[in-house]
């Protein structure tokens, strides 16, 4: 039997309710939008629905506005990987705004790769509420 092709759909994007990172469930969508009204605690990002990808690895990167890290240098993009745990899988890629708010405003570009190919990319603009 031939192996099925992995199907990936950018299901939703924008602002989400607070996410429990310990939970297996993804956060609840608040608003589909490319411009997010940000305040401390605002959760934003996108959700991918993935079928037939169990065991494959996703790589991701979040490019953010230039803000300083703990040493005062410009923080590098956030990167990571996530293994697809089932054949019907949901993946949330996003972040939450922390203090100070002002240096988090601007464009945040989120990119996800599978087997070295971009499968999803979205830029969300954070503006002060």
pLDDT bucket at 27, cuts 50 / 70 / 90: very high
Span 46-78, pLDDT tens digits: 999 999 999 999 999 999 998 888 888 889 999
Residue bearing the bigger pLDDT, 3 or 83? 83
Sequence ranges of the domains in the chain: 7-128
Span 107-122, pLDDT tens digits: 999 999 999 999 999 9
- Going 44 to 108 to 12 to 31, the CA torsion angle's sign is positive
DSSP codes joined into one string, the chain: -PPPPPEEEEEEEEEE----TTSSSPPPEEEE-SEEEE-TT-EEEEEEEEES-TT-EEEEEEE----B-TTSSBPPPEEEEEE--SSEEEEEEEEE--S-SGGG-EEEEEEEEETTEEEEEEEEEEEE-
For the domain made up of 7-128, give the CATH fold. Answer: Immunoglobulin-like (2.60.40)
């Amino acid at each position: 039997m031939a192996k099925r092709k992995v199907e990936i759909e950018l299901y939703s994007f924008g602002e989400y309710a607070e996410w429990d990172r310990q939970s297996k469930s993804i956060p609840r969508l608040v608003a589909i939008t490319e411009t997010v009204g940000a305040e401390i605690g605002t959760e934003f990002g996108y959700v991918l629905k993935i079928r037939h990808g169990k065991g494959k690895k996703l790589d991701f990167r979040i490019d953010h506005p230039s803000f300083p890290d703990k040493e005062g240098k410009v923080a590098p993009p956030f990167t990571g990987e996530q293994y697809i745990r089932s054949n019907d899988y949901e993946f949330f890629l996003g972040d939450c705004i922390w203090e100070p708010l002002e240096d988090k405003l601007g464009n945040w570009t989120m990119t996800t790769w599978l087997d070295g190919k971009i499968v999803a990319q979205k830029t969300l603009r954070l503006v002060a509420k």
